[in-house]
A = this chain, B = another copy of it.
């Protein structure tokens, strides 16, 4: 069982061919099934390969075929539970399909994003891009190579690449309507960095939703903060400092919403009684904290799957890039449910 050849390194296709008494081409075809091979030969080749412990050299194969069976995953922050969940789903799918996953964590740095894209171009067949939305021109070099890209979650303003997004505008509107219905009168919007399309869209949807409910713009106060727990803490502090009359808060992200909830608590403001809070994402921690967080659920698993499948499609059959928008749904929990409700 351990016939691993003498001194030298790994077994090559040539070794297998010799051992099976066929040409190297036949060995290759028997293994890959690229063209018909006599049943007897195929049998011998398979046996030899197993016996010698042959492992095809992927690098050589890549050099020859130009394919890598590998995709890149460019993400702003693995530490964020929302993205971590999607990474997990995508990794599972990639593994099933025999693709490797090259992970890049940009830390919201647009420079790293474009740099990694150019670097990945040489070693992956395509990339799933959770963009920090750098100007498209920065990415021209990477895209010039015709690297298939599917943008996910965070929008990416460029023609010719696929996209999988949530209905962020609709979600923002739902949040606004819900907060009004729950008894909010003065509204705080904890937006994300301006460069993030999700932040821009959710904010826009929120403002539109309030307007639709007849809320005067003067009753909407906006603050910008990073997409993180600490961002939420710090953001809400600024918000309540400047506008203590705010009694309903929409955060563009659950991370922020949770941070805001804790900070509000530390500032002596009870959620939901003194402050209604609504987040976005529905990460698992949203339902764990007290009070449980009302939020807009994104179908992250569905988006991850769709994005992966579309990328594989682009890579293997080279179809036309598509854009898919997933609906979001309101998940009502304690953070917007006042006991003293009407």
Contact = CB atoms under 8 A, between A and B. Distances in A.
Contact of A58 (B60, B87, B123): B123
A325 interface: no
B88 A122 contact: no
Given A53-B141, A104-B95, A144-B4, A78 B81 contact: no
Interface string A80-104: 0100110110011001000011111
Q: Which residue of A70, A105, A112, A229 has the most chain B CB atoms within 10 A of its CB atom?
A: A105
B123 A229 contact: no
Interface stretch (A13-21, A154-162, A238-246, A281-289): A281-289
Interface of A: 4, 10, 53, 55-60, 62-63, 68, 70, 73, 77-79, 81, 84-85, 87-88, 91-92, 95, 100-105, 107, 112, 116, 118-123, 141, 144-145, 229, 258, 262, 284-285, 288-290
Nearest to A56: B122
A79 B68 contact: no
15 contacts: A55-B122, A56-B122, A57-B63, A58-B122, A59-B68, A78-B84, A78-B91, A79-B85, A87-B105, A88-B105, A91-B105, A92-B107, A100-B102, A102-B102, A290-B290
B118 A55 contact: yes
Contacts of A120: 100
Contact of A59 (B73, B79, B123, B285): B123
A18 to B, nearest CB: 21
A284 B233 CA distance: 14
Nearest to A73: B103
A145 B88 contact: no
Contacts of A62: 59
B63 A91 contact: no
Given A103-B101, A141-B53, A88 B77 contact: yes
A229 B262 CA distance: 20
3 closest Cβ pairs, A-B complex: A103-B103, A91-B105, A59-B62
A103 B79 contact: no
A144 B4 CA distance: 10
A55 B145 CA distance: 11
A104 B101 contact: yes
Contact of A57 (B79, B104, B112, B122): B122
A87 B78 contact: yes
